[in-house]
């Protein structure tokens, strides 16, 4: 899977096309697998205490993601340049909806996710270095709304972001190779859990009844659990952000989306089977560090250390891929002159969008230090799913508005497959609005703060 850096560039961007198919697939896997698979199943089991429903939720999340991947693949092949969903929305609906997506992504979705994953990295590092944890408070200041603190974990998180930002700054090849190495390592660590379960698992999960008779409002509970699943799958489309640096993107972007998501589905389902064969359902319910508890049950005290090391690699690798892909959204917005035009600059030596990389690294670090990313991330969850619906519908709009544009790849199963994605995402929009109305409306409010920024940027331009 060697990636050879060449001088083949995208004519309108000046970026190196240095990412091959294998590395693009690992970019999908690396972006998706962070800390979620190690943490979410216990909370889901508390909502839907059924082995069958748990597995159905993970499979359904994967099916929705693969239908989205097939949908996005056509648009990624149509517009093989950096920016991904931002570009799709701009081509389908115009600059304002695209800007609002980019605004929400950079303000919270990408940066907040990166900050959260970085703090998660620091927390698991504290397993080996206790002084690096959040319990070690380095600074405490009174503020009008309470007390502002900075912990050692937050500083470690910032340091990890700076290191990864620097790696991406000096070349897409270096950033990509770090992602290849870390993704391969964390996949190996995850695959070890099912192997342990086969060898040492003692629990015998029961798959009937599928819906427990005492489960009140099963559809609503399943929908809330699915939100966690969708966030764990969330970043599968990040590869489209870096299309301007992928070799032969018309073919490799669709292939990377499909094979990358299929790989993630296989990993997620088998890891959850490992949990079910390591622990009883009652032992899984409500447990946050479910992977750690499962490994402890399977191989004893060394299991906790094994999982901590795997999560360290997983979170660090997730941010390596996230900074590579996420900075290209800011690059695309700068290229269009709607936000931070300097972000469109390409480094003359390293041929990377260095200003965009620095900006995303700095803002993610600010969120990690502020500690506000978790609440912001919760608020914008609704807007993110809403944009998924809009991006899925964009394919139908583009089929009508740009019928003659070359389509090196046409969505398999059109219009049924894209409709499944749109309808599925829409169902979660409605469920989120009904079950989390306050957070959803606040999220929309955060999203709408981008309108005056857009008006100012375009008027100034």
CA dist 168 → 23, 162, 246 (Å) = 15, 10, 15
The reply to whether 186 falls in a domain is yes
pLDDT for the residue 364: 93
Q: Give the helix ranges, DSSP H, for 33-107.
A: 36-47, 51-78, 85-93, 95-104
pLDDT for the residue 275: 95
- The answer on pLDDT for 280 being more than 90 is yes
7 confidence band (pLDDT: 50, 70, 90):
very low
pLDDT for the residue 373: 61
Q: Position of tokens 């929305």?
A: 89
pLDDT for the residue 2: 36
The reply to whether 1 falls in a domain is no
pLDDT for the residue 461: 57
The reply to whether 14 falls in a domain is no
Cα(370)–Cα(296) distance, rounded to whole angstroms? Answer: 33
Average pLDDT over residues 56-85: 91
The answer to whether 328 and 242 are in contact (CB under 8 A) is: yes
pLDDT for the residue 98: 94
What is the domain-level CATH number for residue 240?
A: 1.20.1740.10
The answer to whether 405 and 78 are in contact (CB under 8 A) is: yes
10 confidence band (pLDDT: 50, 70, 90):
very low
The reply to whether 344 falls in a domain is yes
Q: What angle do CA 198, 292, 191 make, to 5 degrees?
A: 40
CA dist 334 → 86, 205, 341, 356 (Å) = 12, 52, 4, 8
pLDDT for the residue 1: 36
- The answer on pLDDT for 446 being more than 80 is yes
Q: Position of tokens 């790989």?
A: 263
447 confidence band (pLDDT: 50, 70, 90):
confident
pLDDT for the residue 16: 79
pLDDT per position as a tens digit, 148-182:
888 999 999 999 999 999 999 998 888 888 888 98
Is the model's pTM score more than 0.75? Answer: yes
CA dist 27 → 113, 310, 323 (Å) = 16, 18, 11
pLDDT for the residue 210: 92
Average pLDDT over residues 316-332: 89
Average pLDDT over residues 117-146: 86
pLDDT for the residue 377: 65
pLDDT for the residue 347: 92
Residue 143 β-bridge partners: 146
Burial of residue 443, with CB atoms counted within 10 A of its CB: 0-12 exposed, 13-18 middle, 19 or more buried: buried
Joined tokens for residue 334: 């700068």
Residue partners of 88: CB distance under 8 A and separation at least 6:
72, 75, 79, 240, 391, 394, 398
pLDDT for the residue 375: 65
Average pLDDT over residues 14-34: 88
Average pLDDT over residues 434-445: 82
Cα(55)–Cα(180) distance, rounded to whole angstroms? Answer: 28
Cα(291)–Cα(313) distance, rounded to whole angstroms? Answer: 14
Task: Decide which of 163 and 15 is more confident.
Answer: 163
pLDDT for the residue 216: 84
pLDDT for the residue 9: 40
pLDDT per position as a tens digit, 73-96:
899 889 988 888 999 999 999 999
376 confidence band (pLDDT: 50, 70, 90):
low
The reply to whether 414 falls in a domain is yes
The reply to whether 348 falls in a domain is yes
pLDDT per position as a tens digit, 186-199:
999 999 999 999 89
Cα(319)–Cα(288) distance, rounded to whole angstroms? Answer: 21
Q: Residue 379 is part of which domain span?
A: 21-460
Considering only CA atoms, which of 81, 85, 123 is closest in space to residue 106? 85
Average pLDDT over residues 119-131: 88
The reply to whether 399 falls in a domain is yes
Alpha-carbon Rg for the chain, nearest whole angstrom, is 21
Cα(229)–Cα(77) distance, rounded to whole angstroms? Answer: 27
Cα(33)–Cα(321) distance, rounded to whole angstroms? Answer: 10
430 confidence band (pLDDT: 50, 70, 90):
confident
4 confidence band (pLDDT: 50, 70, 90):
very low
Share of the chain above pLDDT 70, in %: 95
Core vs surface per residue 109-123: b (16+ CB within 10 A) or e: bbbbbbbbbbbbbbb
pLDDT for the residue 176: 82
pLDDT for the residue 460: 65
The reply to whether 12 falls in a domain is no
Task: Decide which of 405 and 382 is more confident.
Answer: 405
Mean pLDDT of the chain: 88
Residue partners of 461: CB distance under 8 A and separation at least 6:
337, 338, 341
- The answer on pLDDT for 289 being more than 60 is yes
pLDDT per position as a tens digit, 334-362:
988 888 889 999 999 988 999 999 999 99
Core vs surface per residue 406-437: b (16+ CB within 10 A) or e: ebbbebeeeeebbbbbbebbbbbbebbbeebe
pLDDT for the residue 13: 59
pLDDT for the residue 270: 95
| Domain count along the chain | 1
């Amino acid at each position: 899977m060697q990636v050879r850096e060449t001088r083949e560039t995208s004519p309108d961007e000046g970026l190196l096309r240095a990412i091959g198919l294998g590395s693009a697939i690992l970019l999908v896997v690396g972006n998706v697998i962070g800390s979620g698979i190690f943490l979410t199943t216990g909370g889901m089991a508390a909502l839907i205490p059924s082995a069958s429903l748990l597995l159905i939720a993970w499979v359904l999340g994967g099916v929705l993601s693969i239908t989205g991947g097939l949908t996005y693949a056509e648009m990624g092949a149509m517009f093989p340049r950096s920016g991904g969903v931002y570009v799709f929305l701009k081509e389908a609906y115009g600059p304002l909806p695209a800007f609002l997506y980019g605004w929400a992504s950079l303000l919270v979705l990408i940066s907040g996710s990166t900050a959260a994953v970085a703090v998660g990295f620091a927390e698991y590092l504290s397993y080996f270095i206790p002084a690096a944890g959040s319990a070690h408070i380095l600074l405490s200041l009174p503020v009008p709304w309470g007390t502002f603190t900075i912990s050692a974990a937050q500083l470690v998180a910032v340091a990890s972001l700076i290191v990864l930002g620097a790696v991406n700054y000096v070349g897409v090849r270096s950033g990509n190779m770090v992602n290849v190495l870390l993704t391969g390592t964390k996949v190996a660590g995850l695959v070890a859990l099912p192997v342990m379960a086969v060898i040492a698992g003692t629990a015998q999960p029961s798959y009937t009844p599928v819906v427990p008779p005492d489960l009140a409002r099963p559809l609503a509970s399943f929908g809330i659990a699915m939100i966690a699943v969708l966030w764990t799958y969330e970043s599968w489309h990040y590869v489209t952000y870096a299309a301007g640096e992928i070799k032969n993107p018309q073919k490799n972007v669709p292939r990377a989306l499909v094979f990358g998501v299929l790989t993630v589905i296989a990993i997620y389902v088998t890891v959850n089977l490992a949990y079910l064969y390591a622990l009883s359902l009652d032992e899984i319910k409500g447990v946050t560090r479910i992977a750690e508890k499962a490994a402890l049950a399977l191989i004893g005290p060394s299991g906790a250390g094994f999982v901590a090391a795997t999560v360290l690699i997983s979170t660090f690798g997730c941010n390596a891929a996230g900074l590579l892909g996420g900075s290209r959204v800011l690059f695309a917005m700068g290229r269009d002159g709607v936000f931070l035009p300097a972000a469109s600059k390409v480094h003359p030596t390293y041929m990377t969008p260095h200003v965009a990389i620095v900006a995303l690294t700095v803002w993610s670090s600010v969120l990690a230090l502020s500690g506000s990313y978790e609440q912001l991330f919760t608020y914008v969850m609704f807007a993110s799913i809403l944009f998924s619906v809009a991006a899925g519908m964009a394919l139908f709009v583009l089929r009508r508005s740009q019928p003659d544009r070359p389509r090196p790849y046409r969505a398999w199963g059109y219009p049924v497959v894209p409709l499944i994605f749109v309808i599925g995402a829409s169902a979660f929009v409605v469920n989120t609005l009904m079950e989390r109305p306050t957070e959803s409306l606040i999220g929309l409010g955060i999203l709408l703060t981008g309108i005056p920024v857009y008006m100012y940027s375009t008027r100034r331009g």
